[in-house]
Amino acid sequence: MIHSLAALLIGATLLPNLDAPNGKNVLPVMGAQQSEKLPDATCPAGNFSDLVGQPASAAEDIPDPKRILPRGAMKTEDFRPHRTNVFLDENDLIERLNCG
């Protein structure tokens, strides 16, 4: 019964969309009709570019959220647009900054 229902639902999505050019199958994009605008997704990394070459302690001036990443440190791959990443070199000097 469940398999039949699943097949019916899948089959219904494959019916041609007669409003589409040439009657080709066109599936709607999920979330395409969002009315809410996402907030500006930037961090202040560019405002602190003068810290490059400074000791890691200089990163205290960067507002949270931030993370300090020594050379070779493992980091999560989650992207957080408001977070500033501070990358350190082998001498614990600030090497670069970016958002994420």
Q: In order of start, what are the domains of the chain with their CATH numbers? A: 45-99 (3.30.10.10)
Question: What's the rounded Cα separation, in Å, for the pair 61 and 14?
Answer: 55
Q: Give the pLDDT confidence of 4-25 residue by residue, as tens digits.
A: 545 545 555 555 545 555 555 5
The more confident residue out of 63 and 40 is: 63
| Predicted confidence band of residue 76 (pLDDT cuts 50, 70, 90) | very high
Torsion of CA 48, 64, 78, 56, to 10 degrees: 50
Q: Give the pLDDT confidence of 21-49 residue by residue, as tens digits.
A: 555 555 555 544 444 444 555 899 999 99
Average confidence (pLDDT) over 40-65: 93
Q: Residue 93: exposed, middle, or buried by beta-carbon count in 10 A (0-12, 13-18, 19+)?
A: middle
pLDDT of residue 7: 52
Question: What's the rounded Cα separation, in Å, for the pair 26 and 20?
Answer: 7
